[in-house]
Chains A and B, each alone.
Chain A
Amino acid sequence: MLKKASLFMTIMFGLSLVLAACAAPAPVTVRETVEVPGPERTVIVEVTPAPEAKMCDGVTVVAVTQPGPYIAGPLFDHADEWTELTGGQVEVLEVPYGDLYTQIMTSFTTGVHAYDILVVGATWLPDFTPYLVPLDDYIADPDTDPDWEDVLPAFREIIAKWEGKYYALTLDGDTHSLFYRRHLFEDATNQANFKAQYGYDLQVPETMDQLRDVAEFFTGWDWSGDGQDDYGWAQPMARGEQAHWWFWDFVAPYCVIPPGPEGPDQYRGQLYFDPETMEPLVNEPCMLKGLELYKEMTAFGPPGMEAWNVGEIRSGFPGTGNIAMTIEWGTFPGMCEDPAMADPTAIGDCGTAPRPGSLEVWDRENQTWLTLDEPNTAPLLNFGGWVGAVTQTSENPDCAYDFIKFLNSPEISAQDVVIGDTGFNVYRYSHVRDLTIWVDAWGAVAEQDAREYLDAVRADLENPNVLIDLRIPGKPEYIDSVLDLHVSSAIAGEEDLTEALQTTYDEWEEITERLGREDQKAFYRAMMGMD
Chain B
Amino acid sequence: MSTSALQIRGASFSAWLGRVFSERRAKYYFVVPTLLYLLLIGIFPLIFSFGLSFLNWDVAAQRPMSFAALANYAELMGDDRFWRTLLNTMIFAVVAVTLEIVFGFGLALLLNREIRGQTVFRVLLVLPMMATPVAVGYIWRMLYHVTNGPINHILRVLHLPMGTWLSDGSTSLMSVIITDIWQWTPFAFIILLAGLQSLPREPFEAAKVDGASSLQSLYYLTLPMIRPILSIVFLLRMVEAIKIFDIIYVMTAGGPGISTETSTMYAKLVSLTQFRLGYGAAIAYVLLILSIIVFIILTRVLPTEVEME
Contacts and interface: CB of A to CB of B under 8 A. Distances in A.
Interface of A: 98, 101-102, 105-106, 109, 127, 130, 238-241, 302-308, 473-474, 476-477, 480-481, 485-486, 488-495, 514-516, 519
Query: Which residue, of B62, B146, B164, has the highest number of chain A Cβ atoms within 10 A?
Result: B62
Shortest 10 CB-CB contacts between residues of A and residues of B? A304-B146, A239-B255, A489-B257, A240-B253, A492-B256, A307-B167, A492-B169, A306-B167, A494-B257, A477-B274
Contacts of A304: 145-147, 164-167
Chain B contact residues, majority secondary structure: loop
A476 B168 CA distance: 25
Contact of A477 (B62, B146, B147, B273): B273
A99 to B, nearest CB: 8
B61 A238 contact: no
16 contacts: A101-B273, A102-B273, A239-B252, A304-B145, A304-B147, A304-B166, A304-B167, A306-B256, A307-B167, A476-B274, A481-B273, A485-B254, A486-B257, A492-B256, A493-B169, A495-B257
B273 A474 contact: no
A106 B272 contact: yes
A96 to B, nearest CB: 10
Nearest to A516: B61
B273 A303 contact: no
Query: Which residue, of A305, A474, A490, has the highest number of chain B Cβ atoms within 10 A?
Result: A474
Nearest to A507: B81
B75 to A, nearest CB: 10
B275 A105 contact: yes
Given A473-B62, A493-B169, A481 B256 contact: no
Interface string B37-66: 000000000000000000000111111000
Given A303-B162, A307-B166, A474-B60, A241 B253 contact: yes
A302 B147 contact: yes
B76 interface: no
A489 B164 contact: no
Contacts of A241: 253
Given A477-B273, A486-B257, 10 more contacts: A109-B275, A239-B252, A303-B164, A306-B168, A307-B166, A474-B61, A476-B60, A480-B273, A489-B257, A492-B167
B60 A492 contact: no
Contacts of B63: 516
Interface string B149-174: 00000000000001011111100000
B71 to A, nearest CB: 11
A529 B303 CA distance: 68
A259 B257 CA distance: 34
Contacts of A307: 146, 165-167, 252, 255-256
Interface of B: 58-63, 145-147, 162, 164-169, 252-259, 269, 272-275
Nearest to A102: B272
Given A302-B147, A304-B164, A481-B269, A488 B61 contact: no
A307 B162 CA distance: 15
B61 A519 contact: yes
B174 to A, nearest CB: 14
A494 B117 CA distance: 49
Contacts of A486: 257
A239 B273 contact: no
Contacts of B58: 514-515
Nearest to B168: A492
B138 to A, nearest CB: 12
Contact of A515 (B60, B164, B167, B257): B60
Query: Which residue, of A240, A489, A492, has the highest number of chain B Cβ atoms within 10 A?
Result: A492
Contact of B253 (A127, A239, A474): A239
A400 B199 CA distance: 67
A98 B272 CA distance: 10
Contacts of B273: 101-102, 476-477, 480-481
Contacts of B146: 302-304, 307
B4 to A, nearest CB: 50
B214 to A, nearest CB: 45
A481 B269 CA distance: 7
Given A304-B147, A306-B168, A239 B254 contact: yes
B256 A515 contact: no
Contacts of A308: 167
B256 A238 contact: yes
A516 B62 CA distance: 11
Nearest to B81: A485
A489 B169 CA distance: 8
A238 B255 contact: yes
A446 B280 CA distance: 51
A473 B253 contact: no
Nearest to B134: A96
A526 B169 CA distance: 39
Nearest to B166: A307
Contacts of A238: 167, 252-253, 255-256
Given A106-B272, A303-B162, A473-B61, A492 B147 contact: no
B256 A494 contact: yes
Contacts of B166: 304, 307
A494 B167 contact: no
A486 to B, nearest CB: 8
A402 B269 CA distance: 35
Contacts of B162: 303
A19 B138 CA distance: 50
A296 B40 CA distance: 55
Contacts of B164: 303-304, 306
Nearest to B265: A240
A98 B169 CA distance: 22
Contacts of A473: 60-62
A519 B58 CA distance: 14
Given A302-B147, A306-B167, A492 B255 contact: yes
Contacts of B252: 238-239, 307
Given A302-B147, A304-B167, A473-B62, A481 B257 contact: no
A157 B258 CA distance: 38
B269 A127 contact: no
A485 B169 CA distance: 12
Contacts of B253: 98, 238-241
B258 A494 contact: yes
A514 to B, nearest CB: 7
Contacts of B61: 473-474, 514-516, 519
A488 B255 contact: yes
A303 B147 contact: yes
A494 B63 CA distance: 36
Contacts of B60: 127, 473-474, 476-477, 515
Contacts of A480: 273
Contacts of A514: 58, 61
A106 B271 CA distance: 10
Query: Which residue, of A101, A305, A486, A489, has the highest number of chain B Cβ atoms within 10 A?
Result: A489
Contacts of A481: 269, 273-274
A489 B167 contact: no
Contact of A240 (B147, B169, B254, B275): B254
A80 to B, nearest CB: 31
Contact of B259 (A109, A305, A490, A492): A492
